[in-house]
Structure 1
Amino acid sequence: MANTLLKCLKRLAFAVVMFGSLSALHAEDARWAIALHGGAGSVAKDISPERLAAYQAGLQQALKTGEEILKKGGTSLEAVEATVIVLEDASCFNAGRGAVFNAAGFHQLDASIMDGSTLACGGVSAIERTRHPIQAARLVMQKTPHVLLTSKAADSFAESHGIEIVTPDFFFDATRWSQLLKKLEREGVPPLKEPAYGMPPIAKNAQATNDFDISRGTVGCVALDQHGNLAAATSTGGMTGKMVGRVGDSPIIGAGTYADNQGCAVSGTGSGEEYIRNAIAFQVNWRVKQDQQSVVEAVDACLTEVLKPGDGGIIAVDHEGNMTLQFSTGAMSRAWSDWKGNRGTAIWEGPFEDN
């Protein structure tokens, strides 16, 4: 009887150990991580409570959207696209609705997306009517043999595949319009009386604010899913007062966006021309993949040794779920979350306390 009881206890102990081991293994397999940014630039710390609330709400909604996909076993590609769609719809960010104006008084939008498991990628540039440029970028990746489509042809391509098309005044934001007028005044350029598409009805009740100025802002997201795959996505309205037809780094694979399972996923924000000249997104990945630097070291090196002070920010995540969100500007709206319970949102140095 005693021997039988001892054997049962040993079997039970073995089962407990095995269950614990399997649980630990499952937890390890279930690792995921996500980081996002809403643009690097300058945001005054005394901004109005309303504007601050808009930033926080946009960051929280975008973060929740992406992390819920990853928690349920969705792909990193799905997560980064869905997250950026939320940011494109939040007018406080310079992407989609709320995009800045170019020198002629209208909007031209850029975006790109990349799958780290296959290096498949797609981008669109200088589009004017597609509500969610990141959706068009994914279509380019999945439905064409190309990497980048541009301007009206890219809008038409998106429309032919059922992507929502809007009139240009959909992207109007009173603060962005005010920023353009101030920039033209500083440069001694005659002011525009109204946007190129006319002053939309919503402008009558819209109030501009001087709370913030992210004229080089961008939105982006990087993620690791439970399958071990990385993805990155970036979307932007570009620079306030940019030349018509100007294209920055956001739709350029290797400049503003890159993802490689063997290295890391990267999204940048800031002075696009500098990110293009230095292939910043690819360079961060190369440093991780070939030079065996951590994502923290790789991003820090690019911001401090390659780019100039104030050029912008970079977010990155590697295949182990290590994340970094760094910037050399006065602020970068950002958010992050992972399988270990790390979670936060921030604009300035430290995270908000209500995360």
Structure 2
Amino acid sequence: MIRNLLGLFGSTILLSAMAPAASAQDMIDEDARWSIAIHGGAGTINRDKITPEQDKAIRAALGSALAAGSKILKDGGSAMDAITATIIILENDPNFTAGKGAVFTWDKTNELDSSIMDGSDLSAGAAAGINGAKNPILLARAVKDKSPHVMLSGEGANQFSREQGLEQVSPDYYATPYRLDQIEKLLSKEVSAADVDYKYGTVGAVAMDSKGNMAAGTSTGGMTGKRWGRIGDSPVIGAGTYADNRSCAISATGAGEYFIRLGVAHEICARIRMRWPVAIEEAQQTVPKDEEGNYTYAIHASEFMLSDEEIQQIADDVIAELGELGGDGGIIYATPWGQAGYSFNTAGMYRGRATSEGEASVAIYGDE
């Protein structure tokens, strides 16, 4: 099993040799470890703003999406397939804004964004400002797998979607009475979207499969009342989505402009990637030496992992910096060592996680 050797320094275990820097693939042992985390948006999500019926429906939706992704991973499927299946379920649920139930622009149209990334080879696909595709995450994946590009936008992306044979819907598919009421209130009062929206309904999923491969995906209907073709962080690789087998997988939700400015998804992964070899070196310094001044044993990279606390601290630090800029929202993460979790600076975040170790949970409020 992968172990944190910081807890083993008092033992007499000897490791054969000091290992050079390794990739996440080298760090994964032969056990079928997997993990997944999902989100359905963050924001001012308080108990007094959600009815018991809404609470139950949202938890059921999160649970269904989490179960679908978990089954694929448990059966040995890929992280890419797991997050795709998970996000499709959330896109089809009007409790969120990524497909059915997407918010409206200032012109009372829908402009959806999505992105997906494979941590094994850093391949990625994204679509921005699209409509017509029932499931934007499938369009993002098609861009990744079947085009030479990373991001397509607007009518060109819509054309590509049709050419790939993806299921198309009419504009009224996305509309719900609640979202129509939102945009009517905004237009009639000419107030900012912040006065109408109390949460961000972007959806996302991150996962590590049993082969140690990472994947991340994000999908959104955007921001109520957005104008001039505004694009947020969700389709931006490195801001709203990032995956790298050497560090982590991230999906974000929140005030997109701030996530873009800070490059939140990539920033967290980069800090984890840079922290790991430093942590190994720090741990090596604590190993006793023999009479000749040589370490009595060498810490092997394949047996070393960053702790839950270190991962959480890195994520929390970046979200704190986001807050200092004026942004709010949150992220979900998965790591090459099987951890899955979240960090957010809002009152709540629709979220869930499951691992091969038996953990499975969904939550809404910040105090859960």
Q: Judge same fold: TM > 0.5, yes or no.
A: yes
Q: Is the 8 A contact 1:125 1:251 kept in 2?
A: yes
Paired residues for 1:141-156 under 5 Å: 141-156=144-159
1:148-187 pair list within 5 angstroms = 148-187=151-190
Specify which of 320, 333, 347 is matched with residue 337 of structure 2.
320
Aligned to 1:40: 42
Return the match for 1:50 from 49, 53, 61.
53
Is residue 101 of structure 2 the alignment partner of residue 85 of structure 1? no
Tell which structure's C-alpha radius of gyration is larger. 1
Residue 98 of structure 1 aligns with an amino acid whose one-letter code is: G
Q: Which residue of 1 aligns with 2:125?
A: 122
Q: Please tell me whether residue 261 in structure 1 is matched to residue 245 in structure 2.
A: yes
2: CA distance, partners of 1:253 / 1:154: 17
* Superposed counterparts of 1:10-21, under 5 Å: none
* Runs (5+) with no aligned partner, structure 1: 1-25, 190-211
Deviations 1:15-69 (A, max 9, x none): xxxxxxxxxxx99520000000000112231322221222011101100110000
Q: SS of the residue aligned with 2:275?
A: coil
Aligned-residue offset at 1:238: 0.8
3-state DSSP of counterpart to 1:307 = helix
What is the rounded CA distance, in whole Å, between the counterparts of 2:247 and 2:96 in structure 1?
29
Whether 2:70 is the aligned partner of 1:67: answer yes
1:92-241 paired onto structure 2 within 5 Å: 92-187=95-190, 213-241=197-225
Contact kept, 8 Å, 1:125 with 1:148, in 2: the verdict is yes
CA distance in 1, matches of 2:345, 2:327: 5
* Secondary structure at the counterpart of residue 56 of structure 2: helix
Q: Deviations over 1:138-195 (max 9, x none)?
A: 0000111110000111111111111000001100011111122222344369xxxxxx
Q: TM-score, normalised by structure 2?
A: 0.79
Match of 1:252 in 2: 236
Identity of aligned residues (%): 45
Q: Is the 8 A contact 1:98 1:172 kept in 2?
A: yes
Matched, 1:301 2:301: no
Aligned twin of 1:334: 351
Moved more, 212-221 or 38-47: 212-221
Preserved CA contact (<8 Å) 1:115 1:260 = yes
Q: Which 4+ residue blocks in structure 1 deviate beyond 6 angstroms?
A: none
SS at match of 1:316: strand
CA distance in 2, matches of 1:65, 1:345: 14
Higher RCO (CA 8 Å, separation ≥ 6 residues): 2
Give the distance between the partners of 1:28 and 1:41, measured in 2 at CA: 39
Could you say what the CA RMSD is over the residues aligned between the two structures, in angstroms?
Answer: 1.8
Which residue pairs with 2:32 in the alignment?
Answer: 30
Whole-angstrom distance in 2 between the partners of 1:188 and 1:33: 42
The 3 A distance-change label for structure 1 pair 92 and 214 is: farther
322, 330, 343: which one pairs with 2:360? 343
Alpha-carbon distance in structure 2 between the residues aligned to 1:84 and 1:291: 30
Q: Following the alignment from structure 1 to structure 2, what is the Cα–Cα distance between the partners of residues 226 and 235?
A: 25
1:269-288 deviation digits (Å, cap 9, x = unpaired): 00101111111100000010
Q: Does structure 2 conserve the Cα–Cα contact (< 8 Å) formed by 1:58 and 1:90?
A: yes
**TM-score normalized with structure 1 length:** 0.82
